[in-house]
Copies of this chain bind each other. A is one copy, B any other.
């Protein structure tokens, strides 16, 4: 009679910029692990992601209050801590990769779930290869996460739908404000949004328009070279026709030589070039050329942490990829990542597939040219068809005293077994 293999432990880690729904993926992992106690023993999390794994600073998720765990579904940020910490290639960072395998061995970790973007997929791939070589095989499964929506293969990335919804709703609301006041006050409003390389988030601003001619009137994408004269002409035309002009500008907007607009001028009191300076740069340009009164907003972290206006579809997909990661591991897969597969746009139907991590690591997916109107300032019907389902549905957190009740984890530490490791 075949004896069942002894259960092995699992490690979950969050990586890179957090999102409104990354904790929903964590919950998916946690709940799926619980369903398979015969195969997966303890589930640990790295405190501050891979940094916790390197320093053997592991969190024992099983010691957490079950209500707090359930609340991960509606809690933004990374409740176990995340990190901007990229491991380099195996030659240069071999001691770190080996340390990770040492930690895995010490805690009998046989499953590693890494919730991040393309950099993280690269790390997961290398760990999978090295574990095998060093005699401690680990099923390394990526879980997609990025507000930028720039991972290839997957139809979309959990985290994006919610930032897209935030940007669409905010653009709509601010547009109503500006329209009300334009006759005697602000004529130009600029919302600067994230997306250093890809214009997916900026494109989502276009969903604020119900019909042609509605705000936003101009979207600036990183994929389209910024042309000052064409831009200024369009602003003037819009103000003359509509009375006001609403612009959604990607932080990654750049000119034909690839120079970021945000580097084009604004300096603070100390002479430093200002970060996040696309909106003020555009505002000053418009004021200088046309004299219009302007306002601008920089949503920054508000956009990626706005769980109160999360997309229900996004929450469901984030949860689903977390669960699927565990199921893939238990099905014997390694170095794979669950992906979202679109079956149809109207009605929106999707399911979960998987892809080899090697196919997504270190690759970025840009907004295709046919998603951008010929003039470069708007989104096409094809783009709208792609984007609209991703912001579908609301999924409000519970509130108390006027503000959301978000999870607060105790994050109890697992006892250390190894010598300290300085990173």
The residue in A17, A177, A399 that gathers the most chain B C-beta atoms within 10 A of its C-beta is A177
**Do A296 and B305 have beta carbons less than 8 Å apart?**
no
A76 contacts chain B at the CB level, 8 A cutoff: yes
User: Chain A interface residue count: which class?
Assistant: 35 or more
Contact present for B284 and A272 (CB under 8 Å): yes
Question: Are A173 and B76 within 8 A (Cβ)?
Answer: yes
Known: A77-B179, A168-B403. A302 touches B306 (CB 8 A): no
Which residue of B has the minimal Cβ distance to A388?
Answer: B401
B83 touches A308 (CB 8 A): no
Does A270 touch B at the CB level, under 8 Å? yes
A264 to B269, CA, bound (A): 7
Q: Interface of chain A, helix or strand or loop or mixed?
A: mixed
Check B287–A207 contact: CB distance below 8 A.
no
Partner-contacting stretch, out of A95-103, A122-130, A274-282, A331-339? A274-282
Distance between A230 CB and nearest chain B CB, rounded to angstroms:
19
A298 at the interface (CB under 8 A from B): yes
Among residues 295 to 315 in chain A, which have CB atoms less than 8 Å away from a CB atom of chain B?
Answer: 295-302, 304-309, 311
Q: Which of A67-86 touch B at CB < 8 Å?
A: 75-79, 81-85
Q: From residue 140 to 161 of chain A, which have CB atoms closer than 8 A to chain B? A: none
**Residue numbers in B under 8 Å from A173 (CB-CB):** 20, 76-77, 301-302, 305-308, 404
Whether A51 contacts B183 by the Cβ 8 Å rule is: yes
Q: Which of A168, A191, A308, A394 has the most CB of B within 10 A?
A: A308
Is A258 part of the binding interface, using a Cβ–Cβ cutoff of 8 Å?
A: no
Tell me which residues from 147 to 206 in chain A have a Cβ below 8 Å from any Cβ of chain B. 165, 168-170, 172-174, 176-181, 183-185, 189, 191
Q: Which of B181, B264, B309, B404 touches A83 (beta carbons < 8 Å)?
A: B181
Known contacts A48-B183, A402-B391, A403-B208; is-contact A265 B268 (Cβ 8 Å): yes
Q: In the complex the two chains form, is B268's CB within 8 Å of A266's CB?
A: yes
Task: Tell me which residues from 346 to 392 in chain A have a Cβ below 8 Å from any Cβ of chain B.
Answer: 388, 390-392
Smallest CB–CB gap between A264 and chain B, Å? 6
Contacts of A304 in B (CB 8 A): 177
Residues of B contacting A298 in the complex (Cβ-Cβ under 8 angstroms): 296-298, 300
Chain B residues lying within 8 Å of A392, measured Cβ to Cβ, are 401-402
A102 to B131, CA, bound (A): 87
Per the bound structure, the CA–CA distance linking A307 and B173 in Å amounts to 7
Distance between Cα atoms of A14 and B185 in the complex (Å) = 14
Which residues of chain B are near A394, meaning CB under 8 Å? 396, 399
Given A177-B77, A181-B17, are A281 and B268 neighbors across the interface (CB < 8 Å)? Answer: yes
Interface pair B270/A406, CB less than 8 Å apart: no
Contact partner of A302 (CB less than 8 A), chosen from B174, B272, B307, is B174
The complex places the Cα of A418 from the Cα of B401 at a distance, in Å, of 53
A288 interface contact, C-beta 8 A: yes
Distance in Å from the Cβ of A299 to the closest Cβ of chain B?
6
Q: Are A176 and B77 within 8 A (Cβ)?
A: yes
Chain B residues, CB < 8 A from A84: 181, 184-185
CA distance A217 to B106 in the complex (A): 39
Known: A178-B301, A269-B285. 5 other contacts (CB 8 A): A18-B177, A48-B183, A78-B181, A177-B304, A272-B284
Q: What are 10 contact pairs spanning A and B, CB under 8 A?
A: A79-B180, A82-B180, A170-B306, A173-B302, A266-B274, A268-B280, A269-B281, A270-B284, A296-B300, A297-B301
Seen from chain A, the residues whose Cβ lies within 8 Å of a Cβ on chain B are 14, 17-18, 20, 48, 51, 75-79, 81-85, 165, 168-170, 172-174, 176-181, 183-185, 189, 191, 207-208, 264-270, 272, 274, 276, 280-281, 283-285, 287-288, 295-302, 304-309, 311, 388, 390-394, 396, 399, 401-404, 406
